[in-house]
Amino acid sequence: MKIFVVNCGSSSIKYQLFSMADETSLAKGILERVGTGNATLHHTAAQVGFDKDVDVPDHTAGMKLILETLVDGEAGVIKSVDEIVGVGHRVVHGGEELTRSSLIDEELIAVIRRNADLAPLHNPPNLAGIEAARRAMPNVSHVAVFDTAFLSTLPPKAYRYAVPERWHAEHHVRRYGFHGTSHRYVTLATAKLLGKAPDEVNLITAHLGNGCSMTAVSAGKAVDHSMGMTPLAGLMMGTRSGDIDPAVALYMISRGLSAQEVDEALNKKSGLLGVSGLGNDMRDLLVAADDGNERARLAVDMFVYRIVKYIGAYHAVVPDLDAVVLTGGIGENSRPVRRGICEGLAGLGVVGDEDRNQATIRGKTGPITADDSPLGVWVVPTNEELMIARDAQAIIAGSAV
């Protein structure tokens, strides 16, 4: 059974083809700068990759090109597109209505379109991808997997903001959360590693990539989460501020910035980039900090401090914790950041194990704490695409997810 996974941005299509019998990835890639006149395809199959300049005016042409590449004589991994039995689509915002992965039909498309106000940068390109893929593969089932779905179990006391009730009732202002597919994947994987049933495990999961978020998981369900109505809230990120006093935005407008400039600054010029002035890549900041760059050091210290603070808060919410789980590019690889997190959690009894921390990188799974640490910190690589493929497979087979 082969499942194709699609993640469409406004000018990009990320894709991956899975063979579900053994959950292996047969091919993956990204088509970038769709519609700009100088699109490129980066495609990898059997560990061999290539880059190619291509002529792709829109998502429909892009999808056609990707499918042709999958069946291409030399680089191809399947004989015919008919081998693909289903397609899983990443959709960022399910809003309040779409709380689980679902088969795509006209009605579902209408709801995703309605939710576009909540995710204007993401849902419209996600829909463009759905339409292009349905056109290219009209005879197979297409399934939508929502970033927000795993976080739909938050109780009202966690998802409501203390703002006028009408803002929620009329404008749907509330915490939704994002990265849910990643948090769900590592929750299920960690439950398995710890020998617990998925609905028994209590975790704090931290997705630390360019975007960063944290989820408190009780009995396998999300009960609190750091991102908000938009992905701007919570932890410090590559270019996003995370939590700030909301009055700062209004104050900067009173100092002469437009609302759009403030939005741009908080989303694209803040976080690690804003504080360090150097960039948003944690690797570069760690090198600079070691070389004595004080702004880089401060950016890293703030990043770690915010994570430690959130873990403390979520531990209070989920006292009976089985583990803290780190994932995403930084969580899976950045040894100094992980060491800082373990040291920062000493007050909660965490005892780091530096040998384990050094050894657990590049896709490895395992604890980075000592066996006798009262609270374990684990590194569990995420795989959102596989989670999407699993959901598509289950839904096509008629099971609930």
State which residue, 88 or 238, has the beta carbon closest to ligand ADP. Answer: 238
In angstroms, how far is the first alpha carbon of the chain from the final one?
A: 18
Is residue 195 helix, strand or coil?
Answer: coil
Asked whether 26 and 45 are in contact (CB, 8 A), the reply is yes
> Quick check: is 281 catalytic?
no
Asked whether 348 and 361 are in contact (CB, 8 A), the reply is no
Select the residue interacting with ligand ADP from 62, 95, 220, 238 (CB under 6 A). 238
Q: Return the range that interacts with ligand ADP (CB under 6 A); candidates 104-112, 140-148, 190-198, 281-289.
A: 281-289
Select the residue interacting with ligand ADP from 283, 290, 294, 364 (CB under 6 A). 283
* Contacts of residue 251, Cβ cutoff 8 Å, sequence gap at least 6: none
Residue 188 CB neighbour total at 10 angstroms: 16
The nearest distance, CB 108 to ligand ADP, in angstroms, is: 26
The nearest distance, CB 376 to ligand ADP, in angstroms, is: 22
What percent of the residues of the chain are helix, what percent strand, and what percent coil, each to the nearest 5? 40, 20, 40
Among 147, 322, 353, 391, the active-site one is 147
The nearest distance, CB 92 to ligand ADP, in angstroms, is: 13
The nearest distance, CB 184 to ligand ADP, in angstroms, is: 16
Half-sphere exposure of 192 (CA within 13 A, CB side): 8
Nearest one of 117, 123, 61, 62 to 92, comparing CA atoms: 123
Select the residue interacting with ligand ADP from 102, 152, 239, 333 (CB under 6 A). 333
Q: Which residues pair with 352 in a beta bridge?
A: 369
Q: How far is CA 195 from the centre of its chain?
A: 25
The nearest distance, CB 280 to ligand ADP, in angstroms, is: 6
Does residue 334 touch ligand ADP according to CB under 6 A?
A: yes
Asked whether 328 and 208 are in contact (CB, 8 A), the reply is yes
Q: Please give the DSSP secondary-structure letter assigned to residue 174.
A: S
Alpha-carbon span 101 to 70, nearest angstrom:
26
- DSSP H/E element including 378: strand 377-379
* Contacts of residue 155, Cβ cutoff 8 Å, sequence gap at least 6: 223
Q: Return the range that interacts with ligand ADP (CB under 6 A); candidates 79-87, 258-266, 325-333, 368-376.
A: 325-333
Binding mask 161-200 for ligand ADP (x = CB under 6 A): ----------------------------------------
Select the residue interacting with ligand ADP from 11, 40, 141, 210 (CB under 6 A). 210
Select the residue interacting with ligand ADP from 177, 328, 340, 367 (CB under 6 A). 328
Q: Return the range that interacts with ligand ADP (CB under 6 A); candidates 63-71, 134-142, 277-285, 308-316.
A: 277-285
State which residue, 174 or 356, has the beta carbon closest to ligand ADP. Answer: 356
* Numbers of helices and strands, H then E, in the chain: 15, 14
Does residue 364 touch ligand ADP according to CB under 6 A?
A: no
Does residue 281 touch ligand ADP according to CB under 6 A?
A: yes
| Number of residues forming the site for ligand ADP (CB under 6 A) | 12
Return the active site residues.
147
The contact set with ligand ADP (CB under 6 A) reads: 209-211, 238, 281-283, 328-330, 333-334
